[in-house]
Structure formats: C-alpha cells, structure tokens
Amino acid sequence: MAKETILIIEDDPDIRELIRYNLTREGYAIAECASAEEAQQALKWKLPDLILLDLMLPGLDGFAFCRALHAEERTKGVPVIMVTARSVDVQIVGLRRKLGRHSELIETVRGVGYRMRTGKP
C-alpha cells in the first residue's frame, strides 16, 4: 500500500521540521510549502491525501487559502487540518495547536485517514 501524502503549509521552518519529523516517523510521505501561494502552485501538479494548514501565513492567510481550495472542484475534497499558535479557544473540528502534544496531532491525522479510507464520518 502506498504511503498517504500530507502537505504541510507552514511558514516557520522550525515548526515545519517538527511536524515533518513526527509524521515521517509514523510512515507518512510529506510535501512542504512555506506559503499559501507556493501550495497553490504545488497543488496544480499533485493532490495530497491531507493538508496541515497554518492559519497565520504571510500573504494569503490560511482561511483564504482554505476557502479557495474548497471553491475548486478538483481540490474541494482534500481534507484540511488547520494548525495555529493562537491561544484562542476555537471550536473547529480539526483545529490543533501547533505545539500541542505530538500524540494529539498524530491521532487527528490517523482519524482523518481512517475516514478517508472507509468513508465513515
């Protein structure tokens, strides 16, 4: 079975490296972009199985990127987990603090992968 590919869209290289390290240890293939604009170009060539998206990106922010992603027929089915360093208590499914527990991020990614494979909510 091919590895599931996760696209990390994060402008901070240290956070990107931390996320990459943890997800590759779990067996995922990783693609990385430092901006939403870079990710839009990358998505023209290959769609990932999942996107981890920083909300506070320079230029096009994570919310605007996500709206654009889901407005296009080709990309609207790609699941997105939004990650943030904000210290707000937001109730969005898939929103995770960047530097939260490693196991929480992995469990969320696994859960999304399971739902993608089985079609179960």
Q: Indicate the number of domains in the chain.
A: 1
Q: What is the pLDDT of residue 57?
A: 92
Residue 121 within any structural domain of the chain: no
Domain at 99, CATH number: 3.40.50.2300
Residue 85 within any structural domain of the chain: yes
Average pLDDT score, the chain: 79
Residue 42 within any structural domain of the chain: yes
Q: Could you tell me what percent of the chain has a pLDDT over 70? A: 68
Q: Domain containing 12: what range?
A: 5-116
Residue 74 within any structural domain of the chain: yes
Residue 50 within any structural domain of the chain: yes
Q: Could you tell me what percent of the chain has a pLDDT over 90? A: 44
Residue 32 within any structural domain of the chain: yes
pTM here is 0.76
Closest CA to 7 of 18, 19, 63: 19
